[in-house]
Amino acid sequence: MNIEEKISNIDGAEYESNKDLTKFSTMRLKCRGDLITVRSVDALRSTLVALTRNSIKYRVLGMGANQLLSETSDIPYIKLALPFDKSYLQEVRDLYILPASVTLSVLSSHAVKNGLRGWESFTGIPATLGGAVFMNAGTNLGEIGPLIKRVFLIDKNGEERIVTMDEGSFSYRKQNFLNDGDFIYQIEMKHFGVDESVSKQIKEYLELRNRTQPLKEWTCGCVFKNNKNKRTCLAGKFIDIMGLKGLTYNGMRISPKHANFMENTDSSSHKDVVALINIIKDELLLQYGVEFETEVKL
Ligand SMILES: Cc1cc2nc3c(=O)[nH]c(=O)nc-3n(C[C@H](O)[C@H](O)[C@H](O)COP(=O)(O)OP(=O)(O)OC[C@H]3O[C@@H](n4cnc5c(N)ncnc54)[C@H](O)[C@@H]3O)c2cc1C
């Protein structure tokens, strides 16, 4: 079966073969692959059914802020692009029903304007809402998990499921309720009341991030997870004291500004980041006997 033909017949789904996907990740790694853009929930369902019936696996692509895309991929990427009318955010609501493809920056603007308590937790994180829920994205101000009430998803067979969140739904930088192939398309989200001081808190935290993180460079955020058992065990600190800041491998550089970030300074690819990650891991083990798990999805 010609998958391109099948997908192209689905209203609201667009198939692009062997597309240059370099701009589809925040690290701008060289990448070519097949991309399916879906613009409606029905199109998403039909796409997942068509792929699964033909035993074709797929990868879900949000903003690509936490994924290292490989140079070539024979597995298609699916990107959700659901319509969203921003006038929905003109008023404060108790509960928000939002498409997974909306970006956190749009939600942060609403939070600054209205002082939504709890929404400060995702200040400055580049992400789609779906990607942020998948990762339980968070900052020193908290995590997105506690703000999520229900998650609407479609599984690889096209079956719809609505999952109500409970205490076990999230842990550090991960969710615990999705199965392989599940695609989040909508999220119900709450806040913890309106509090004017939240606006100031968000602005100050954004300034702090700008000062301490290389936000203008091409990065994927923090490469390593901090060691959750020891709150003081910060991956960036170890990399810094080993004197590795600025170390560059094929155009991929350990950020001089924040050692847990890597910057693509040229036109690096997946293998270059992996090589640099392995250099750091070896040094950490050799010099300090510590191991850090990668936060970024390899
Ligand atoms: C400059 C910078 C700063 C960052 N700072 C932070 C930070 O402070 N805190 C933090 O937690 N993270 C941070 N990150 C990492 C990143 O922003 C988060 O991990 C974010 O949640 C990724 O969202 P995304 O939409 O880009 O998802 P992607 O990177 O595209 O995908 C991440 C994972 O989620 C899955 N996924 C995405 N969308 C869906 C969906 N709709 N349904 C099912 N699965 C899905 C993907 O398949 C993949 O496995 C930073 C990144 C950058 C570049």
Chain segment 271-280, per-residue pLDDT in tens: 999 999 999 9
Look at residue 238 and tell me if it is in a domain.
Answer: yes
Residues 134 and 74 in one domain: no
Domain membership of residue 205 (yes or no) is no
Banded pLDDT at 230 (limits 50, 70, 90): low
**CA 9 to centroid of ligand 1, rounded, Å:** 30
pLDDT confidence of residue 234: 85
Domain identity same for 93 and 193 = yes
Which residues constitute the domain of residue 135? Answer: 86-200
Taking CB atoms and a 6 Å cutoff, what residues make up the pocket around ligand 1? 26, 59-67, 80, 100, 125-128, 130-132, 134-135, 137-139, 183-184, 215, 219-221, 297
In a domain, 116, yes or no: yes
Q: What is the mean pLDDT of residues 17-30?
A: 96
pLDDT of 211 > 90? The answer is yes
Tell me, yes or no, whether 37 lies in a domain. Answer: yes
pLDDT digits (tens, 9 = 90+) for 130-159: 999 999 999 999 999 999 999 999 999 999
| Chain centroid, CA 104 distance in Å | 10
Answer whether residue 77 shows pLDDT above 80.
Answer: yes
Q: Are residues 102 and 172 in the same domain?
A: yes
Atom 3, ligand 1: which residue's CA is nearest?
221
Average pLDDT, the chain: 94
Q: Percent of the chain beyond pLDDT 70?
A: 97
Last residue of a domain, one of 49, 80, 111: 80
- Of 38, 135, 215, the one to substitute when testing ligand 1's pocket (max ligand atoms within 8 A of C-beta) is 135
Distance 164 CA to ligand 1 centre (A): 21
Give the pLDDT score at 233.
Answer: 60
Q: Give the pLDDT band (50/70/90) at residue 2.
A: confident
Q: Torsions phi, psi of 134, nearest 5?
A: -55, -40
User: What is the reported pTM?
Assistant: 0.94
CATH code for the domain in which residue 163 is found: 3.30.465.10
pLDDT tops 60 at residue 285: yes
